[in-house]
Amino acid sequence: MNIMLFHSTYGLRPAVRASADRLRAAGHQVWTPDLFDGRTFDTVEEGMAFKEETGKEELLKRAVLAAAPYSERGLVYAGFSFGAATAQTLALGDSNAHGLLLLHGTSDIAPSASVDELPVQLHVAEPDPFETDDWLSAWYLQMGRAGADVEIYRYPGAGHLYTDLGLPDYDEEAAEATWRVALGFLDSL
């Protein structure tokens, strides 16, 4: 599979590169665009401030430009938290998308969004302050109405970005379970 993997609001950290390497070792081609132009952050607050300062439209433009040269190949869009939201937006707008792998995040869905049975897999902590139960229920229904084939995996007790070894949220058991399921998902596409 050809995978476009987007980073979280922490920026393109070593954990994102390590995740890309894990995917490559499983036989996938992976691109990790740096939407923050080399900036990384130690706290989510710093990353969110930079995201707001740069602007949603500018960051989306950067993501579209990063994916555009590979879209014809049929991408699986993937991402971490903010990067998952970005991946979702691009996948729902790309008729060539082969799949969507969301780690720790989702995004609003345009009422006009429509896909043809797009395979979608979401991995999220339970509870997650950024992905509440009510939000996820509504998101799941909206994705279904848009035509996506959605699977959701919840990880009780894990922190929001539990797959990032360099953050306090890291949960080895949940991270390894996530990667086992995600790699199986990618192999099925």
Instruction: Give residue-wise pLDDT tens across range 30-66.
Output: 999 999 999 999 999 999 999 999 999 999 999 999 9
Q: What's residue 38's pLDDT? A: 97
Q: What are phi and psi of 120, to 5 degrees?
A: -130, 135
The Cα-based distances of 123 to 26, 100, 129 in angstroms read: 19, 11, 14
Calculate mean pLDDT across residues 135-146. Answer: 96
Alpha-helical (H) ranges within 37-105 are 44-54, 56-67, 82-93
Residue 94 pLDDT class (50, 70, 90 cuts): very high
Q: Give the Cα separation of 171 and 162 in Å (integer).
A: 5
Residue 105 pLDDT class (50, 70, 90 cuts): very high
Q: Considering the chain, what is the average pLDDT of its residues? A: 97
Q: Which two tokens stand for residue 72?
A: 């014809």
Kindly report which listed range (33-37, 110-114, 125-129, 156-160) carries the lowest average pLDDT score. 110-114
Q: What's residue 152's pLDDT? A: 97
56 touches 44 (CB < 8 A) = no
Q: Give the Cα separation of 92 and 68 in Å (integer).
A: 14
Question: Which amino acid makes up residue 50?
Answer: F
Q: What's residue 160's pLDDT? A: 96
102 touches 87 (CB < 8 A) = yes
